[in-house]
Structure 1
Amino acid sequence: MNIGVFLSAADLGEQYTVPAKEFGRLLGEGGHTLVWGGSDSGLMRILADAVHESGGRLVGVSVSFLHALAREDAHEMVVTDDLATRKAELLRRSDALVIMVGGTGTLDEATEILELKKHGLHAKPVVLLNTAGFYDGLELQFRRMEAEGFLPLPLADLVHFATDGRAALEYLQERVRSAGTR
């Protein structure tokens, strides 16, 4: 499975790096391909290192103004002209999507992916990986949006919330497997 992951390129503490490394290990051991922002710094590097060391494939999608930070040993590296094209390329190349911890860039990517799904422009499973409770407030906001009628479909059809990488991967595998049998 090609798993697109949106996450931070910042250097972060163990509460985020340890779960990222574990998730990367699970992806690699499962023979999956990581499709990610292509950066060789921060949390992106930690995730990619774990995938690579565990036998997984790396497909980076960088953007021209960040290309100097791109990982050199990725199996494939695509460089786009702008962030909008980068998001579209990440979505196109992924069978499933995971949103890990991140800042405004990750939040932008997450909301666009969910907005496209809400409008039926893709049907790929999306997991919000809520490491160390990072997205507790966002989950609460989404639940309020659903309860007050702001979402035209059930929240569970839009995004799945997982607290660890194993649960995220199991959900994705099940969703992709059941979509293939329809």
Structure 2
Amino acid sequence: MNICVFCSAADLSESYTVPAREFAELIGKGGHALVWGGSDTGLMKVMADGVQENGGRLIGISVEFLAHKARAGADEMVITADLAERKAALLARADAIVVMVGGTGTLDEATEILELKKHGLNTKPVVILNTNGFYDGLKQQFQRMEEENFLPVPLTELAFFAEDGVGALAYLEEQAGVQS
């Protein structure tokens, strides 16, 4: 399975890097590929290192203005002209999407994917990996949107909130019909 991961390129504390590393190892050991923003910095690097060191493939989708931060040694590296093209390429190469901790770029990617899913233009499973409660507020906001009829489909059809990498990967493999 090609698992697209949206996450931060920032250097973060161990409270985020340790769980990310564990998730990356699960992806690699499971024989899956990481489709990611291609950066060799921050949490993106942690994910790429963990997947690659555990036998998984790396499919990077970077963007021209960040190409200087692209990871050397990825199995594939695509450089897109802009962020919109990058998001489209990430989605096109993915069988599933996981939203990990991140800033405005990650939030932009997540909301676009969920908007596409809401309209039936993306049918791939989406997991929001809620490491250390990072997305508790977002989950609460989505629940309010659902309760007040801003979502035309149930939240559970848009995204699955997982508390850890084990739960995230189990959900994705179940959705894909992969036998553990």
List, as ranges, runs of 4+ consecutive aligned residues in structure 1 with deviation greater than 4 Å: none
SS at match of 1:72: coil
C-alpha offsets along residues 76-121 of structure 1, whole Å, 9 cap, x if unaligned?
A: 0000000000000000000000000000000000000000000000
- Quote the offset at 1:177 in angstroms: 1.4
1:89-104 equivalent positions in 2, closer than 5 A: 89-104=89-104
Q: Which residue of 1 aligns with 2:87?
A: 87
Q: Give the letter aligned to residue 127 of structure 2.
A: V
CA distance in 1, matches of 2:88, 2:176: 20
- Quote the offset at 1:39 in angstroms: 0.2
Q: Which residue of 2 aligns with 1:149?
A: 149
CA distance in 2, matches of 1:152, 1:173: 26
CA distance in 2, matches of 1:15, 1:132: 7
CA distance in 2, matches of 1:117, 1:124: 8
Q: Give the letter aligned to residue 7 of structure 2.
A: L
In the alignment, structure 1 residue 29 sits paired with structure 2 residue 63: no
CA distance in 1, matches of 2:171, 2:133: 19
Q: Give the letter aligned to residue 173 of structure 2.
A: Q
* Overall identity of the aligned pairs, in %: 68
SS at match of 2:61: strand
C-alpha offsets along residues 118-156 of structure 1, whole Å, 9 cap, x if unaligned?
A: 000010000000001100000000000001100000100
In the alignment, structure 1 residue 53 sits paired with structure 2 residue 53: yes
Q: Which residue of 1 aligns with 2:176?
A: 176
Task: Provide the aligned length of Structure 1 versus Structure 2.
Answer: 178
Q: Which residue of 1 aligns with 2:129?
A: 129
Q: Give the letter aligned to residue 66 of structure 2.
A: L
Q: Which residue of 2 aligns with 1:66?
A: 66
SS at match of 1:121: coil
Q: Give the letter aligned to residue 140 of structure 2.
A: L
- Quote the offset at 1:65 in angstroms: 0.2
TM-score between the two structures when normalised by the length of structure 2:
0.98
Structure 2 unaligned regions, length at least 5:
none
Q: Which residue of 2 aligns with 1:20?
A: 20
Q: Give the letter aligned to residue 59 of structure 2.
A: V
In the alignment, structure 1 residue 160 sits paired with structure 2 residue 144: no
TM-score between the two structures when normalised by the length of structure 1:
0.97
SS at match of 2:11: coil
SS at match of 1:128: strand
SS at match of 1:153: coil
- Quote the offset at 1:176 in angstroms: 1.4
